[in-house]
């Protein structure tokens, strides 16, 4: 049985001294245990952070051209490894291969953005702020930063943070999800091949013990977390209480608002793609479809017809949708379906009846469509994180907008309409961090920043883009005088411009 371990000091951790706690890693399409992953205890956390700390002291002094060379090499190697990574992701997460390759591509975009670090780190300069005095600003790395990632994007989410943090001169300790830990080790190997010095990128495999060890370690200066809202809140509160800079991205319940003038075929395609892609295990998945009457009957019929054409099965067989990540998670999502039925929602398509193209032991649940869901039902109030799409019928735009704004989550949302005025009003009024206009999954490009509002993000920095650079550096302002000719003089007053 394969043993998946940590990556410390630029190489796989010595097997002889691995911690005794491990967790099984499954192939979700078969239900088989394919490996065991080491779960770090405190001694390994200490060792990983010490290695990163030592490396950060040298790496922060590396020139921008040295860093850029490593980043360009990493970008090149990552692009070449797309299919290798996709295979690894599909084997442990279950998403279909094309989707796995897609997440690598979106992560690659951040690596490309980070290649521009010499420009991104430029400070500002003011000549002559006082007689013979100049001021300039610089941004410097923080030291050791931790990245804690969820199961649903084992390559893309680490790549939202790691290239920028490294480009800015930090050392990174990545704690991936224990459910699909192998992609992190492919990334580690690529960084090493790209010429990154030992210890600048570390992978710490583990569970909450490793997370809490990082959150309380005095040498960890910042934490980028992505995961469910309860854990994001814990990470934010614990990390900030220990003096760290924290950005903690949490869960989601993304609404798609369809106005009566929308192109219903476009809207139906979008709802199905964004609702069931990656089996709904995307933080930007659409899970609530809010339809302004009188078009709900027509839209629901179109969606149901499209679902009937989807193939659920093993992600390696060219299917449209794969299994859920674990048996427990599949059962939890089925529990939500049962609650929806019990609460009186109309079950238009029942994913429990799916006949998958895959092994009987896989964690299957087909696309599920509920109509006439009300705001009180748990299928609406809770994040389900599975292939369950709920339709809510409203009478007006304002009623639809109020639903979106009253929901505790505020990650992504979309409006479908031909009315530019309504779309413009929506983008202004909606209390959500990422908005699509006739675009169902509005994930920003790397040079913009990714993140939600309300219970979808704790902290004040979003991921990547300008906010990413800001997060992984701290500012310094330098006031300079080169006396010429030299003269001083005593003056105990507060310095002002002269």
Contact positions vs ligand NAD (CB under 6 A): 148-153, 157, 175, 177-178, 207-208, 211, 226-228, 231, 234, 249-252, 283, 383, 385, 411, 452, 456
Least distance between ligand NAD and beta carbon 285 (Å): 8
Computed on alpha carbons and rounded to an integer, the radius of gyration of the chain in Å comes to 25
| CA-to-CA dists, residue 279 to 216, 218, 285, angstroms | 35, 39, 9
Q: Which residues pair with 136 in a beta bridge?
A: 125, 478
Pick 13 or 59: Cβ nearer ligand NAD: 13
Minimum separation from the CB atom of position 126 to ligand NAD (A) = 38
CB 261, CB 417: distance < 8 Å? yes
Query: Look-up: residue for tokens 């479809």?
Result: 289
Given the residues 172, 268, 283, 389, select the one marked as catalytic.
Answer: 283
**In the complex, what is the shortest distance from the CB of residue 498 to ligand NAD, in angstroms, rounded to a whole number?**
50
Does the annotation count 283 as an active-site position? yes
In terms of CB distance, is 224 or 417 closer to ligand NAD?
224
Q: Which of 221, 197, 181, 222 is nearest to 9 (CA)?
A: 197
- Cα distances (Å, whole numbers) of residue 473 to 23, 121, 138, 274, 450: 35, 9, 9, 35, 18
Instruction: Answer yes or no: are the C-beta atoms of 299 and 265 closer than 8 Å.
Output: no
**74 vs 151, which CB is nearer to ligand NAD?**
151
Q: Three-class SS of residue 486? A: coil
Q: Cβ closer to ligand NAD: 251 or 356?
A: 251
150/157 Cα distance (integer angstroms): 8
CB of 409 vs ligand NAD, minimal distance in Å? 8
Are 30 and 361 in contact by the 8 Å Cβ rule? The answer is yes
DSSP conformation class of 151:
S
What's the first-to-final CA gap in the chain, in angstroms? 74
Q: In this chain, which residue has its C-beta nearest to ligand NAD?
A: 227
Q: Are 30 and 217 in contact (CB under 8 A)?
A: no
From the list 225, 169, 161, the residue with the least C-alpha distance to 187 is 161
Taking the complex as a whole, the smallest distance from the CB of residue 253 to ligand NAD amounts, in Å, to: 9
Minimum CB distance to ligand NAD smaller for 296 or for 333: 333
385 vs 416, beta carbon nearer ligand NAD: 385
User: Rounded to the nearest whole angstrom, what is the least distance from the CB of residue 242 to ligand NAD in the complex?
Assistant: 14
User: Whose Cβ is closer to ligand NAD: residue 7's or residue 397's?
Assistant: 7
Nearest one of 253, 246, 214 to 379, comparing CA atoms: 253
Cα distances from 268 to residues 102, 298, 395, in angstroms, run 22, 10, 19
CA distance 30 to 314: 8
Backbone φ and ψ for 175, nearest 5 degrees, come out as: -110, 100
Compute the least distance from the CB of residue 157 to ligand NAD, in Å. 6
Which residues have C-beta within 8 Å of that of residue 275, sequence separation ≥ 6? 285, 286, 287, 289, 367, 387, 389
- Residues that are catalytic: 283
């Amino acid at each position: 049985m394969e043993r998946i371990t940590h990556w410390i000091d630029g190489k796989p951790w010595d097997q002889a001294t691995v911690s005794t706690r491990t967790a099984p890693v499954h192939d979700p399409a078969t239900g088989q245990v394919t490996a065991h992953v080491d779960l770090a205890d405190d001694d390994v956390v200490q060792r990983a952070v010490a290695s990163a700390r030592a490396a950060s002291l040298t790496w922060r002094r590396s020139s921008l051209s040295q860093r850029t060379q490593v980043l360009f090499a990493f970008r090149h190697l990552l692009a070449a490894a797309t299919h290798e990574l996709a295979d690894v992701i599909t084997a442990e997460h279950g998403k279909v291969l094309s989707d796995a390759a897609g997440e690598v591509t979106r992560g690659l975009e951040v690596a490309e953005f980070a290649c521009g670090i010499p420009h991104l780190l430029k400070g500002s300069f003011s000549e002559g702020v006082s007689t013979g005095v100049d001021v300039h600003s610089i941004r410097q790395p923080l030291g050791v930063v931790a990245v804690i990632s969820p199961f649903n994007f084992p390559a893309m989410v680490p790549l939202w943070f790691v290239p920028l943090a490294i480009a800015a001169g930090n050392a990174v300790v990545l704690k991936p999800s224990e459910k699909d830990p192998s992609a992190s080790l492919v990334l580690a190997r690529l960084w090493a091949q790209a010429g990154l010095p030992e210890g600048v990128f570390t992978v710490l495999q583990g569970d909450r013990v490793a997370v809490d060890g990082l959150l309380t370690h005095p040498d960890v200066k910042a934490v980028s977390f992505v995961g469910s809202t309860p854990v994001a809140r814990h990470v934010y509160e614990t990390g900030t209480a220990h003096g760290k800079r924290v950005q903690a991205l949490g869960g989601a319940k993304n609404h798609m608002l369809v106005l009566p003038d929308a192109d219903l075929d476009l809207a139906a395609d979008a709802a199905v793609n964004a609702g069931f892609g990656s089996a709904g295990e995307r933080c930007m998945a659409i899970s609530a479809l809010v339809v302004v009457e009188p078009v709900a009957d027509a839209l629901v019929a179109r969606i149901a017809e499209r679902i009937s054409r989807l193939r659920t099965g093993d992600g390696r067989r060219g299917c449209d949708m794969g299994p859920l990540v674990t048996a427990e998670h599949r059962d939890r999502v089925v529990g939500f379906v049962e609650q929806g039925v019990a609460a009186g929602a109309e079950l238009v398509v029942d994913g429990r009846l799916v006949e998958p193209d895959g092994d009987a032991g896989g964690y299957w649940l087909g696309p599920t469509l509920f109509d006439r869901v009300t705001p009180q039902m748990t299928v609406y109030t809770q994040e389900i994180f599975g292939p369950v799409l709920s339709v809510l019928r409203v009478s007006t735009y304002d009623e639809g907008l109020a639903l979106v704004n009253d929901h505790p989550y505020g990650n992504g949302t979309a409006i479908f309409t031909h009315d530019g005025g309504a779309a413009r009003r929506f983008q202004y009024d909606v209390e959500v961090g990422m908005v699509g206009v006739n675009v169902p999954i509005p994930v920003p490009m790397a040079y913009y920043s990714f993140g939600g509002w309300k219970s979808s993000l704790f902290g004040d920095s979003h991921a990547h883009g300008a906010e990413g650079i800001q997060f992984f550096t701290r500012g310094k302002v330098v006031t300079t005088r080169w006396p010429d000719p030299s003269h001083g003089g005593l003056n105990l007053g507060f310095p002002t411009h002269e």
